[in-house]
Structure 1
Amino acid sequence: MTEQRSDRFERGTDGPKVIVTGVDGSDSSLRAAAYASGLARRQGALLAVVYVQPVLAAGAALGAPVADTTEEIAEGLVAQIREAMDRIRAIHDIRWEFHTFRGDPYTGLVKAADDLRADAVVVGASEQAGHRFIGSVAVRLVKAGRWPVTVVP
């Protein structure tokens, strides 16, 4: 039996097609989005920016307008991202989409990455001290082992 090797380079089939980045308005998530946009630009990939709207059961139980608050955050993030993309559009054209999911950040990012058939996930490092003990979203994504995950400080 002879082994067949293909030394041909297949244009357009190497590298990621979809890069998912999670944003929540924190400095580290915005740095992750900036890093992911550079990756998407260099690779010619689609940048899928994902905001996971938290479900705050305690706030909802007390009658707080939780959905309105998370919608406002999502709208603010879209405006901020759109403004940043418009600034760089004159130099680079990056294809991007904004998606929102409801739930906890880990589950939402996993669903987004699966639904969008992500080739890579980029997230910011957690800025919460307690995550050293219970595990951050980034660590949980890495442990899932389903996509390459880049964690931006």
Structure 2
Amino acid sequence: MGGSGAIVVGVDGTNSSMRAGAYALGLARRQRCELVAVYVRALPSALIPLADTSGSATTTIMATHDDVERELRLLVAQQVRSDVDVRLVVRHGEPYTELVDVAKQVRADAVIVGQSCRTLHRIAGSLSTKLVRSGRWPVTVVP
């Protein structure tokens, strides 16, 4: 690639994260830098096994994670012939922690995420709010 640096984008299969991915791809193309898409497979709540004695809820969550990861891998594979170096990093854990870790590792120039649609995030703070407050990178939040 002719440029330097990297742009990190958080993707989770939601509409806003996919729009963030498309925005990040265009930005990486213009800046001639690497695009690192990060998909964090959030760990199921510790309370699920208590209420889900059959394990079906946990199985459903894992299958959903698998489906999203498969879709993201297909989208990244379609970019192989493009002029942007795109890679997918899959992590397990808490999204904020994992995004920050990847951004540090790749020495990100910017972090891009989709806007959260959850009502609770307006009260407790969303991923994007935490990233902005960390003040480590320019953060773009795509609606």
Q: TM-score, normalised by structure 2?
A: 0.81
* The one of 40, 48, 56 aligned to 1:59: 48
Q: Secondary structure, in 3 states, of the residue corresponding to 2:18?
A: helix
Question: Is the Cα contact below 8 Å between 1:50 and 1:100 reproduced in 2?
Answer: yes
Partner of 1:21: 9
Summarize deviations over 1:59-99 as a string: whole Å, max 9, x none.
Answer: 24556378765654454334323444555666x32211111
* Structure 1 residue 100, shift from structure 2 partner: 1.4
Aligned length: 139
Alpha-carbon distance in structure 1 between the residues aligned to 2:58 and 2:107: 27
Partner of 1:105: 95
* The one of 14, 33, 41 aligned to 2:29: 41
Over the matched positions of the two proteins, sequence identity in percent amounts to 42
Question: Is the Cα contact below 8 Å between 2:17 and 2:114 reproduced in 1?
Answer: yes
* Structure 1 residue 116, shift from structure 2 partner: 2.1
Specify whether residues 69 and 36 from structure 1 end up closer, same or farther in structure 2 by C-alpha distance, changes over 3 A only: farther
**What residue identity is the alignment partner of 2:47?**
A
Structure with max Cα Rg: 1
**What residue identity is the alignment partner of 1:76?**
D
* Structure 1 residue 139, shift from structure 2 partner: 0.6
1:146 aligns with 2:136: yes
Q: Secondary structure, in 3 states, of the residue corresponding to 1:128?
A: coil
Partner of 1:7: none
Alpha-carbon distance in structure 1 between the residues aligned to 2:71 and 2:139: 24
1:131 aligns with 2:121: yes
Q: Secondary structure, in 3 states, of the residue corresponding to 1:122?
A: strand
**What residue identity is the alignment partner of 2:111?**
V
Question: Is the Cα contact below 8 Å between 2:9 and 2:113 reproduced in 1?
Answer: yes
Question: Is the Cα contact below 8 Å between 2:40 and 2:95 reproduced in 1?
Answer: yes
Alpha-carbon distance in structure 2 between the residues aligned to 1:67 and 1:100: 19
